[in-house]
Structures are given as structure tokens and as C-alpha cells.
Amino acid sequence: MNDSGYAYAKASWIIGKSFLGKRISLLSNIHSLNDLDRLIFPDSRYELPGRELLPSLEERIKLRAVRQILSVIKSYTEPPKVLTRMIKGFEYSDLKDCFARIAAGDTTGENGKIKHPVISDIGRFKTIHFNAYPDAYAMIKKTEYEEILHKDKKAVEKGADLTAIDYKIDYKYYQSLIESLSLLDNEERIILSRLIADEISLRNCLWALRLRTYYQKSAIEVKKYLMDFKLLGNINQKRTHLASEALGSLYFQLDIRDDWRGWRWEKFLNQSEQSGGWNADPRHFQNAASQYLYHLAFHNFHTLPMSASSIYCFIKLKQFEEDLLTSIAEGLSLGINSAAVFKLLEHPEAY
């Protein structure tokens, strides 16, 4: 069995033990953080009060996902570049979290000491100097991310608007992911092109919705933050513009449902209220889009066994599981049981 075979076998075993597919139902009747802890970590649970248990549980959920993903990647003598770029996704997510904490002024505790955020240990793939936190520029100096703050080393500080910074980090990540597709054979490239194209398109649309709804940004302002990559979308080598759906949506009224009729991603929008009123809800769109991407990854995990595309789908599934478990933990900490959290997330398989 070659490296891909070992990786696929290990990934399949992990997925079978994860809270995905039919096993999601195991999460549908959880009423306390301790119950959730016992379910996820039966051999190493923590008996702590809820307020103390939440940060511990969230940290262990995150590190569990990274550890399982790395255990699969280690099956390769030299992992495909598209997979190493996926691993780097944890680093870019942690970087955005660090920047957000700096901008919010949430870097020190009551004792005046630095509060270090939980950082994913991606081993030999890490490049960012998280030990320099909360010095934003020192964290990314001499890394591929340095150019983000090259012109303004003080752009990330308390009270800063991170919209442009977040866009640059996202763009950098997806650009490298798309470039790595050229190293794959045609069959794998077709599968991953669709997955990545849909993810970027939906990310653009959500970003446009959020900027218009929460920040009242104009169409001209929003356009600056859309990732207009051009990706080979099918076997006929037709290039897909990944910002086209978001650009088209900029001229739909946010309170007129009929404006959105026939739009490609219309099915992910919230329905009109019984009273007849309607306003586009970014949270609903995000949850529905997440469900779609989850099902896409789940379906394609076994489409081309023992390939980079199957392990790519495995990583996406583990990231989805991490988000789901974290959402349930946060809900339980607020007195919301898991069934209610599933309804908020619009996850049909669990209720």
C-alpha cells in the first residue's frame, strides 16, 4: 500500500469514529458541558464547573482536530502541496484570531499578564511566530504574511478596522490553495476545483451580505473585498469567475425577497416571514452554506479513494466537526441544549 493508501485508510477510520454523518445524532440530546466532555473525551474528561470547563473543552476540541489531521498527513513521505496548504489554514485562522484580539484590546488578563490565545500546533508546517504575540508585525516578520503589514506595521492595534487585513489574509490563503491545484492530475483537480470554487464563491457572497447588512457598505466599497479568482471549473477548461455571484447580489435590495429570485445561491437565503416582511440574514446564509459545503465534502470523500482530494475532504470534515462541537459547547455554556443549537444552526440530521 502506498502513502495515499495509508492516509486514506487512517482518514476513513477517524471519520468512522467522528461526530459526522449518522453519528451526529449522538450530539442531539446533550444538556451540560460535562455530558459533552464525557462524550468527546471518555478517557480524559475534566470534572470542572461550567465556567471553567468551557475554555478547557474548546481548547481540547481544537487540538483534537489538528492532532487527528496531522496523524493522517504524517502517512505521506512528502504530502501533496494542496494538503500542506490546507494545514496552513489553521495558521491563517489563528493569525486572524490574534489580530482580532489585538484590535479588541483583549490581550491581557486582570493580573496584567498577556493572555495567549489557543494556537494550533501544526508542527513542521508552522511559520508564524505566535510567541511574539501581541506584537502583530513581529509575528509575521520574514514569513509569507509579512507583506500584509509591510506598508503599515502599526495597522493592527487597539480599535483598528481589520476588514482590509482579513481580506488580505483570506486572499493569500486561497491564492496559494488554487496554485497548488496545478500539481494534481486532472481527475483530482476537477473534484477540488469545484469544492474550492464553491467555497470561495460562498465566502464572497457572505462577506458581501455582512458588509452591507452590518456595516452599511456601498456596492463600490464591498467590491474591494471580493476575491475575484478565475478557476478552471470543469473538464472543458471553462474559467469560472468566483466573485460573479457576489457582484450580482450587490444590486439586490436587502429587504426585497423577489430581487433575489433566480440567484445561484438563493436557496441559502432565509424565507419570508409569515407577516410578509423579509430582510436578508447573513447568519442564516452562513449556516446554510456551511451545511452545503459539509455535504459536498462528505459526498466527495469516497469519490476518489486514496487521493489528495479524499484527504482534502477529510480535513474539511474535521474542521466542520470542530466548528459544530465548539458551537454546541458555547450554547451549553449559555444554557441552550444541543437540540436547540442544532436548530439555530439549521442542521437537519440531528432533529
**Number of helices (H), then strands (E), in the chain:** 12, 2
Kindly report the CA angle at 304 between 70 and 67, in degrees rounded to 5? Answer: 10
- Tell me the HSE value of 14 on the side-chain side, using a 13 A CA sphere: 25
pLDDT of residue 235: 45
And the C-alpha cell for 226?
471580493
Residue 113, C-beta contacts closer than 8 angstroms, at least 6 positions apart: none
Quote the pLDDT of residue 111: 82
pLDDT at 236: 47
Distance of CA 306 to the CA centre of its chain: 24
Amino acid 241: pLDDT: 86
pTM of the model: 0.92
Rounded CA separation 97/332 (Å): 22
Q: Residues 6 or more apart from 4 whose CB is under 8 A from it? A: 76, 306, 307, 308, 311
- Residue 100's φ and ψ, nearest 5 degrees, are -65, -40
Torsion-angle region of 126 (φ positive above 0: left; ψ -120 to 50: alpha; else: beta)? beta
Question: Which residues lie across from 114 on neighbouring strands?
Answer: 108
* Buried b or exposed e, range 72-109, using 16+ CB within 10 angstroms: bbebbeebbbbbbbbbbbbbbebbbebbbbbbeeebee
Q: Write out the chain's pLDDT in tens, 351 residues.
A: 688 889 999 999 999 999 998 899 999 899 999 999 999 998 876 777 767 899 999 999 999 999 999 999 999 999 999 999 999 999 999 999 999 999 999 998 878 889 889 999 999 999 999 999 999 999 999 999 999 887 777 889 999 999 999 999 999 999 999 999 999 999 999 999 999 999 999 999 999 999 999 999 999 999 999 999 987 554 445 567 899 999 999 999 999 999 999 999 999 999 887 777 899 999 999 999 999 999 999 999 999 998 999 999 999 999 999 999 999 999 999 999 999 998 888 776 554
